[in-house]
Chains A and B, each alone.
Chain A
Amino acid sequence: MLFFSFFKTLVDKEIRVEFKNGVEITGTLKSIDQYLNLKLDNIKTDVDKYPHLIAVRSLFIRGSMIRYIHLNPVDVDTSLLQDAARREAIATGGDKFAGR
């Protein structure tokens, strides 16, 4: 759940999504679920390359279509992310934490 948890904090932030088919779309992340399906708003893309997206304002993206998501570094708390990753690793190892 780490990625889901992580991406939840990026809601309302701008991200750039790179699809497995090469399309790149920048937009505001509106929603995400546990499959990392995304909902983007106010999308921007290279309309010369992808004219079919010219009229699209918001998108739902199936998580499995995504190759990369580019983030703004200021939106990421790396040390917290490290802790979270460690915690998850520890927790999945069966060693649950008592509380926070």
Chain B
Amino acid sequence: MSFFGFDPTGPPSSKRNDAEELDFDDEDDAFNEETFGADVTDIRKDFDFGYGAKPQAEESILKPATQSSIKPGLSYAKAAQEELLQPMAALWGDSTSNEEERKEVTEEKDDSKKVLSLEEIEAKLKQQTPSSAGVQGTANVPGQPPVVQQPQQQFPNPYMLPPQVQQQMLAAAVASGQFPNMESASQAMAQSMMAAAAFQQTGMMPPLPFMNVPPHLQQQQQQPGQPQQPQQQPPSGLPQGQVPNQPQSQPESQQGKTQTAGRPVSQPLSVDRFPPIGVGIEETAKPQINQQQQQQQQQQYHQQQHQQYHQQQHMYRNNNRGYNHQQQRAQRRDYYQQQLQQQLEQMSPEEREKFTIRQNKVSKITRCSGFMGPKDKDFVTRFQLSQIVTEDPYNEDFYYQVYQIVKSSLGGATNDVNSIAQKYLDQSGHRLGGRSKRVDIALQRMQQQVSKAVTVAKERGQRSSGLSKEGALGRVSFGTGKQPRQQIIIKKEEASSEEKDDALPKEYKFPRSSRSFQLSIIEDIYTQVLKLESMERENQTYQTTELWKSLHLNDKIKTSTDEINPFISILSFDKTMKVFQRLFHFLSKEEQEQIIELIFTHLQKIDIVLKSSYKNYADTNYSIPKNVNDKIELFQSTIMRALVIYIGDTNFQQILSILNEIISNNNVLFLCTTKIGCSLLTVIISRLELIKQEYSKNLSAQDLSNWSLVYDKLFQGLEGRLASIFPPFFSNDESRKVVNEETNKNDGYIWQFLATLSLGGLLNHQRIIVDEIRNEIFGVMSLSKTTKEEGDAVKAAGLLENLNLFLNVMGLNATEDDISELASEA
């Protein structure tokens, strides 16, 4: 009631939201909690208190009936009745907010109802009965007691509702048809009494201009037939002079203004509830008399109640803390509303219309806001986070973590908790910082949440994820954040007897030449590599023995035709090629040597080398299938790259021994029909030649003679068939020439090979080479000529350039028409 200095404008939570701002933030919620959470307890206390206050009880019966809009104090009965009145409210122009209020009110009532246990009620009733006689007079004064009450001290407690009065009221109420819908009028009354108490405490009364228009007058206006009316005259406690206090004045003024404004807009509670019609008249006409009456009555009443007053006051004070608090807030609210009111008045009708619409929208939006307090939100957030957060991000969130690092390789790894908190803040609806927009605070809070969530997640992790019951056929498994879907729980094979018996690792159970065996080896390698990489990133020391074992370098697999090393057999898998460099760098120098040696020794057994020879495709016009070409490219960019780098770092003797291995274990001529083989030989020979020419001082005569021995061996393998290293699609020899989609690719690698070959050889070697590929040379020259004549000078030059790579080694130079000695040498 405004009388208590409360703004009656309804329940604290959402109303305030409406008015102040549309912020769904934590801050607001904090506010909400303050109101909701704290208020609940307040309500309880107040309620006790209120219950004792009989005058309120009466009032609640009488008044709500009259002031249809006074929600808080209403009993359900009233509420029901109010429904009937509602259309009227709508007429006054603000039905929406009204409705809203009503809802809130119902809530409020629920609250207060809940709060009071049956026992409590009983106890109260017992306490109160003794004084009943004295109260009789006041019992029927509608609305008076609240008027009298000055929340803090002046309250002259009329707390009792004597049974007779109750009955009177009851009878009256029933007679008036006031409780048509309710189970029974008595129930309603009990409720209304309670409600009234709550109402009183929570300050939910509309700001009635009590000074001017005593509530019962309004009652008269609205519900002339109301039985309580006659009883309204009896004494009403304190003189008005005692009543006034600060908060009270505000609602009053508001009221006045609204009334003058003639519209109850946006002051939904106070104004709408009040039919402005006629009030003004009454206001001026009756107040004086009424006040006098009231004063008298109240004085009498006061005396009667004096003793009780003291008793009750004690109780009252106990309940007062929350009350004061509320009062303050109510004042704030009042202030706000006042401002609003002023604004409203300054507006033009259209503006006001707009404003009203906006207010309605706002209240629609905020209707359901604020149900969750910050604690609730924290709980939910924590719960969500605990599903997501992990103490082990690199195992469970590897992709994301590494992706972020890779993507922002500059930023480096940020604190994990921070990033999760930030991320979550960004993604969730939490607006940063709440009302004050303090980002750091929000972040801080979220970080706390995350660390809490981590703890929760840890604890939960220990719980087992399945429940098995004795005799049950299946197991109950619980979905978790990490495995949201229920999974079939497969009993792990008992790793016991069987496996111990045959001490073979599982990959040996596959047929050893099978694809599954190869794949299992590859996966093994990957596992080891991943583990080592993980350790490397953590700067731990690591052992490569496991990895080395997984490579199976020294195993042999017997196939029907041949014996093959498992490692060689897997080299042609794309994923092996991809992992090669990653594993290569973990190996020690000796291990690298071994692995390189193995590869070169078995070069022609490597599937992809085998397949890259043009000889395989004689049937299909020598066109190499695309997947083979892709593999060749992959091989070149992975394994061959590693090999070339290795060769670049190795000394003369080692390279020589490698070359020797290749020549002794492979068909060199066949290797030269493959791009891979050709290129590798080129690299090796040119490296040897380079060392020989640049660092010859470091080489012993033995080394040099070894080199020429090996070279001779190599040359012998090629001699007489040199022309065959030209794939037909690159050949310009008219007799072999084939045109397919490969033809236009760069054949530079062949000329490079020939160039290095002649570079390593003596004059007679060179002569043989030139002799054997004479047709190719002239073919290129003529092709270049025709190409140039056709206008493609660039291509022609390219052809010649490749040719001259080779010829220049021997001090010759070719043009389209002629081969001459190089100018510099001449």
Within 8 A of A (CB), among B198-243: none
Instruction: Name A residues whose Cβ lies closer than 8 Å to a Cβ of B.
Output: 1-2, 4-6, 8-9, 11, 30-31, 33-35, 77, 79-84, 86-88, 90-91, 95-100
Q: Which residues from chain A contact B402 at a C-beta distance below 8 Å?
A: 80, 83-84, 100
Q: B427–A1 contact, CB under 8 A?
A: no
Q: Which of A4, A95, A99 contacts B540 (CB 8 A)?
A: A99
Query: A87 CA to B575 CA in the complex, in Å?
Result: 15
- By secondary structure, the B interface counts as helix
Q: B531–A97 contact, CB under 8 A?
A: yes
Q: For residue A39, which residue of chain B has the nearest CB?
A: B427
Q: A9–B396 contact, CB under 8 A?
A: no
Query: A99 CA to B391 CA in the complex, in Å?
Result: 11
Return A32 CB to nearest CB of chain B, in Å. Answer: 9
The count of residues in chain B whose C-beta lies closer than 8 Å to any C-beta of chain A is 34
| Interchain Cβ contacts under 8 Å between A and B, 11 examples | A5-B396, A5-B397, A31-B427, A33-B388, A34-B481, A35-B484, A81-B399, A84-B402, A88-B395, A100-B398, A100-B401
Q: Given known contacts A86-B527, A98-B538, is B388 in contact with A91 (CB within 8 Å)? A: no
Query: A6 CA to B523 CA in the complex, in Å?
Result: 22
Chain B 386-410 interface 0/1 with A at a Cβ cutoff of 8 Å (1 = within): 0110101011111111111011000
Question: Is the CB of B482 closer than 8 A to any CB of chain A?
Answer: yes
Sorted from nearest, which 10 A-B pairs have the closest CB atoms? Answer: A99-B538, A84-B399, A5-B400, A100-B394, A100-B537, A84-B398, A5-B399, A1-B396, A31-B427, A5-B397
Question: Is the CB of B535 closer than 8 A to any CB of chain A?
Answer: yes
Q: Which residues from chain A contact B530 at a C-beta distance below 8 Å?
A: 83, 86-87, 90, 97
Question: Is the CB of B288 closer than 8 A to any CB of chain A?
Answer: no
Q: For residue B578, which residue of chain A has the nearest CB?
A: A79
Q: For residue B407, which residue of chain A has the nearest CB?
A: A9
Q: A2–B540 contact, CB under 8 A?
A: no
Within 8 A of A (CB), among B529-585: 530-531, 534-535, 537-538, 540, 575, 578
Query: A35 CA to B479 CA in the complex, in Å?
Result: 10
Return B394 CB to nearest CB of chain A, in Å. Answer: 4
Q: A99–B388 contact, CB under 8 A?
A: no
Q: B395–A34 contact, CB under 8 A?
A: no
Query: A88 CA to B392 CA in the complex, in Å?
Result: 12
Q: Which of A31, A33, A35, A77 contacts B406 (CB 8 A)?
A: A77
Return B27 CB to nearest CB of chain A, in Å. Answer: 23
Question: Is the CB of B51 closer than 8 A to any CB of chain A?
Answer: no
Q: B534–A98 contact, CB under 8 A?
A: yes
Q: B390–A1 contact, CB under 8 A?
A: yes
Q: Which residues from chain A contact B384 at a C-beta distance below 8 Å?
A: 33
Query: A5 CA to B394 CA in the complex, in Å?
Result: 10
Q: For residue B398, which residue of chain A has the nearest CB?
A: A84
Instruction: Name B residues whose Cβ lies closer than 8 Å to a Cβ of A.
Output: 384, 387-388, 390, 392, 394-404, 406-407, 427, 481-482, 484, 523, 526-527, 530-531, 534-535, 537-538, 540, 575, 578
Q: Which residues from chain A contact B482 at a C-beta distance below 8 Å?
A: 1, 34
Q: Which residues from chain B contact A82 at a C-beta distance below 8 Å?
A: 575
Q: Which of A2, A30, A90 contacts B399 (CB 8 A)?
A: A2
Q: For residue B540, which residue of chain A has the nearest CB?
A: A98
Q: Which residues from chain A contact B399 at a C-beta distance below 8 Å?
A: 2, 5-6, 9, 77, 80-81, 84
Query: A78 CA to B316 CA in the complex, in Å?
Result: 73
Q: B403–A87 contact, CB under 8 A?
A: no
Q: Which residues from chain B contact A77 at a C-beta distance below 8 Å?
A: 399, 403, 406
Return A98 CB to nearest CB of chain B, in Å. Answer: 6
Q: B387–A34 contact, CB under 8 A?
A: yes
Return A71 CB to nearest CB of chain B, in Å. Answer: 13
Q: B387–A80 contact, CB under 8 A?
A: no
Q: Which of B390, B484, B538, B575 contacts A100 (CB 8 A)?
A: B538
Query: A82 CA to B482 CA in the complex, in Å?
Result: 19
Return B453 CB to nearest CB of chain A, in Å. Answer: 13
Q: B398–A83 contact, CB under 8 A?
A: yes
Q: A9–B394 contact, CB under 8 A?
A: no
Q: Which of B399, B531, B578 is most buried by chain A, counting CB atoms within 10 A of its CB?
A: B399
Q: Which residues from chain B contact A5 at a C-beta distance below 8 Å?
A: 396-401
Query: A87 CA to B531 CA in the complex, in Å?
Result: 9
Q: Which residues from chain B contact A96 at a C-beta distance below 8 Å?
A: 392, 395
Q: Which of B394, B407, B484, B575 contacts A99 (CB 8 A)?
A: B394
Query: A31 CA to B429 CA in the complex, in Å?
Result: 11
In the complex, besides A8-B400, A80-B402, A88-B398, 4 extra interface pairs with C-beta distance below 8 angstroms are A6-B400, A80-B403, A83-B530, A100-B402
Q: Which residues from chain B contact A2 at a C-beta distance below 8 Å?
A: 398-399
Query: A59 CA to B387 CA in the complex, in Å?
Result: 23
Q: B394–A97 contact, CB under 8 A?
A: yes
Q: For residue B399, which residue of chain A has the nearest CB?
A: A84
Return B418 CB to nearest CB of chain A, in Å. Answer: 16
Q: Given known contacts A33-B388, A90-B527, is B400 in contact with A98 (CB within 8 Å)? A: no
Q: Given known contacts A6-B400, A33-B388, is B534 in contact with A100 (CB within 8 Å)? A: yes
Q: Which residues from chain A contact B388 at a C-beta distance below 8 Å?
A: 4, 33-34
Return A53 CB to nearest CB of chain B, in Å. Answer: 23
Query: A95 CA to B401 CA in the complex, in Å?
Result: 20
Q: A9–B395 contact, CB under 8 A?
A: no
Q: Which residues from chain B contact A6 at a C-beta distance below 8 Å?
A: 399-400
Q: For residue A3, which residue of chain B has the nearest CB?
A: B399
Q: A86–B526 contact, CB under 8 A?
A: yes
Query: A5 CA to B398 CA in the complex, in Å?
Result: 7
Q: B535–A98 contact, CB under 8 A?
A: yes
Return A89 CB to nearest CB of chain B, in Å. Answer: 9
Q: Which residues from chain A contact B394 at a C-beta distance below 8 Å?
A: 97, 99-100
Q: Which residues from chain A contact B484 at a C-beta distance below 8 Å?
A: 34-35
Q: A9–B534 contact, CB under 8 A?
A: no
Q: Which residues from chain B contact A30 at a C-beta distance below 8 Å?
A: 427
Q: For residue A1, which residue of chain B has the nearest CB?
A: B396
Query: A30 CA to B538 CA in the complex, in Å?
Result: 33
Query: A87 CA to B537 CA in the complex, in Å?
Result: 15
Return A13 CB to nearest CB of chain B, in Å. Answer: 12
Q: Which residues from chain A contact B537 at a C-beta distance below 8 Å?
A: 99-100
Return B221 CB to nearest CB of chain A, in Å. Answer: 48
